[in-house]
Amino acid sequence: MLNADALKQLNQLKSDIRSTKEFAEGRVRGSNGKFGFVVLDDGREAFLPPPEMERVFPGDRVRVSLSEEDKGKKLSAELDALVESDLKHLVGQYVQRGQGHFIQPSQPGLTRWIFLPPKARGKAQPGEFIAASVNRHPFKDGKAQAKVTGVIGKPDMPGIEHAFVVAQHRLSDQFGDAAIKQAEEIKGKLDALTAERKDLSEYGFATIDAESTRDMDDAIAVSARDGGWRLHIAIADPSSLIEPGSPLDKEAFKRAHSQYLPGETLPMLPRDLCENLFSLVADELRPALVVHVDIDSDGKIGESNYEFGAIRSRHKLSYEQVSRFIDGDETAVPDEQKESLRNLAALSEARTTYRASHSLIMEDRPDYAITLDEQRKIASIEKQERNAAQRMVEEAMLATNICIGRQLAELHQGCFSVHLGFREERMGEVKSLLKEKLAEHADKDLLQLDNYLALVKYLETHDEPAMRNLLAVLKRMLRPGQLSNTAGAHLGLGLDAYATVTSPIRKYNDLHNHRVLRAASESQQPDTLSDEQIAALQDSLIRGRQANRALEQWLYAQFMQNKVGETFTGKITLVNGAGLGVRLDDNGIDGFVRLNGNKKNLPEFDGKHLILTHNERSYQLEQPVTVKVASVDVDKRRIALELVGEQDLVDAAKA
């Protein structure tokens, strides 16, 4: 046994060693292997070896000691303390190996199984998909434990993919009793509300949506005026009957938006509200926010104003009907709508031309209609090019939201959609790329709207392939759009301010903006959204996108299983040192072409310009290619592709 002096000396030695180490905090990032990384707060990344990774979960915030290895080329981390862990819930498959019972989690980066003690298994059975809570963190000894909280279903259950993804991403598919009760009470209030409002139906509104749409939150009418047109947009008004902080408001805030999954919709509001009572159903009087916008013959937006009233939509028109009418089929729409639709077509053309000169126009991309079978798996995928009617409606909604964005900016209130351009941490790469070809743009502040617009417009109109590739590479360095309670530029659209208001029964930020407008019209002070609330809405939107992508990848992998060996055309959407990501033209499905599998024939990767050279052929973003489906791994949701014709190139080079 050590005496007091020896213990004191040992503690002093430990203290001295500790004082010479570098400590830092960061977030754990998992990998496809047993190792991981710690992304430090200062931007560095430290390797976390398997024994250390066993003690943490991806996303944990930890304090680590750092050391340099391989002559300073590699930074390694040793765990010192667990600061916080946000991983409380798991979803995955119940697996049994011998006497051991585990959940195999689906969380990205979490590759190990978590033990389920006997009393924590409930009625779940091996093989089932389950939800569980973490009841023992592994930091102390690397031994994590979980408890089953619910059974999602068996692997062969129809729609198991949908149920699993909803649970995995914590999406809400049920409404609480208080919200349902409030929805029932709204039925009795609706007639009284519309009766006391001014009836604005005289403008001759009609909804234009997909044939299957039931949650119709906007209707359009366009009249001619000297020097242009007057656009009237009627928008469903749930804000007048759903007060902030009420049960329905809390449910809507939690969802943030209606979630459209393949073959399924998770609405932001109860279906009877969004598909009936608030929906602008033809021949039914509904409360509405009506926005009036003057648009000049050259497409420039003039004066605008809004009012709260009630409207009765005359017709429910489909995109297909309106598109047929614009193409010359006079029988496709009712006679009383023809003049308004002709005006809308002319207005749309003028606005498109104006935006092409003064802002930015998003690239027209096809949609893909997925049809599910009785097992709720993909039966077919139909490619659908956007038609004239969809573009017309889009221009009308954009004009409306531009006007409202400007008004909210003047009020210094509202929930704005902003896009701030290039990521700040990528600006060095952006400047370096521009100095090669466009030095005159490299020295400008590209986070300013005018400078960003000038750069993108120049690249969009340039025919040189190198310039087109430069634009594609630069787009990979852009930040995603986000919500903000402060007005800011939307560089993606080329606008100085933008806020949406046209979908209040589908999007919470639109519902909030209705409340701000109504408060302003009544000279009242509106409720504001805090930074924390904005962040929560943004998080819900991100989770929704992730859920949709996860479900699509699962269903796509199943769909492509019986297409191994088939050939498709596609475009390159991803270039890295390992190979190429390709999106197939026929169905919009993504796959990956691995080109680094043969160590004797490795590709040459230009990471600056995102160009990969293999077998004397170069590949870059948006390049058309022909590929063959090589294999499909449904469990990992991976579709492996092969380039068609590359071996022919090799043989030709040898001849």
Instruction: Determine the pLDDT at residue 462.
Output: 84
Residue 14 covered by a domain: no
Over residues 378-392, the pLDDT tens digits come to 999 999 999 999 999
Contacting residues for 290 by C-beta, under 8 A, at least 6 apart: 200, 203, 232, 233, 234, 235, 306, 307, 308, 309, 311
Q: Average the pLDDT over 503-516 and give the result.
A: 97
Residue 10 covered by a domain: no
Q: Is the CB of residue 58 less than 8 Å from the CB of residue 30?
A: yes
Do residues 219 and 361 share a domain?
A: yes
Q: What is the DSSP letter of 444?
A: S
Q: Give the chain's domain count.
A: 5
Do residues 447 and 393 share a domain?
A: no
CB atoms closer than 10 angstroms to residue 496: 17
Mean pLDDT of the chain: 93
Over residues 10-38, the pLDDT tens digits come to 555 545 444 457 899 999 999 888 999 99
Token pair listed for 65:
């000691």
CB atoms closer than 10 angstroms to residue 150: 13
Do residues 385 and 497 share a domain?
A: yes
Q: Which amino acid is at 316?
A: K
> Which residues are 620's β-sheet partners?
611
Among 19-33, 66-80, 286-300, 597-611, the range with the most confident prediction by mean pLDDT is 286-300
Q: Is the CB of residue 146 less than 8 Å from the CB of residue 115?
A: yes
Residue 169 covered by a domain: no
Token pair listed for 248:
């329905």
Over residues 157-195, the pLDDT tens digits come to 999 999 999 999 999 889 999 999 999 999 989 999 999
CA 534, 537, 541, 546 dihedral sign is: positive
Do residues 285 and 371 share a domain?
A: yes
Token pair listed for 208:
């234009």
Q: Which of 103, 120, 155 is the last residue of a domain?
A: 155
Q: Average the pLDDT over 199-214 and give the result.
A: 95
Do residues 359 and 504 share a domain?
A: yes
Instruction: Determine the pLDDT at residue 654.
Output: 41
Residue 586 covered by a domain: yes
Q: Which of 84, 103, 122 is the last residue of a domain?
A: 84
Over residues 95-126, the pLDDT tens digits come to 999 999 999 999 888 989 999 999 999 999 99
Instruction: Determine the pLDDT at residue 652.
Output: 37
Over residues 255-296, the pLDDT tens digits come to 999 999 999 999 999 999 999 999 999 999 999 999 999 999
CB atoms closer than 10 angstroms to residue 373: 11
Do residues 181 and 256 share a domain?
A: yes
Domain that holds residue 595: 564-654
* CATH classification at residue 37: 2.40.50.140
Is this structure's pTM higher than 0.75?
Answer: yes
- Residue 644 to residue 568: CA distance in whole angstroms: 9
Do residues 537 and 596 share a domain?
A: no
Do residues 192 and 273 share a domain?
A: yes
Instruction: Determine the pLDDT at residue 17.
Output: 44
Over residues 330-361, the pLDDT tens digits come to 999 999 999 999 999 999 999 999 999 999 98
Q: Half-sphere exposure of 292 toward its Cβ, with a 13 Å CA cutoff?
A: 12
Over residues 479-495, the pLDDT tens digits come to 999 999 999 999 999 99
Rounded to 5 degrees, what are φ and ψ at 494? 75, 40
Q: CA distances (Å), 534 to each of 260, 266, 508, 539, in order?
A: 21, 21, 11, 9
Residue 558 covered by a domain: no
Q: Which amino acid is at 57?
A: F
Residue 11 covered by a domain: no
Angle at 52 between CA 47 and CA 57, to 5 degrees: 90
Q: Which residue has the higher pLDDT, 137 or 32?
A: 137
Residue 462 covered by a domain: yes
Do residues 538 and 642 share a domain?
A: no
Rounded to 5 degrees, what are φ and ψ at 288? -155, 150
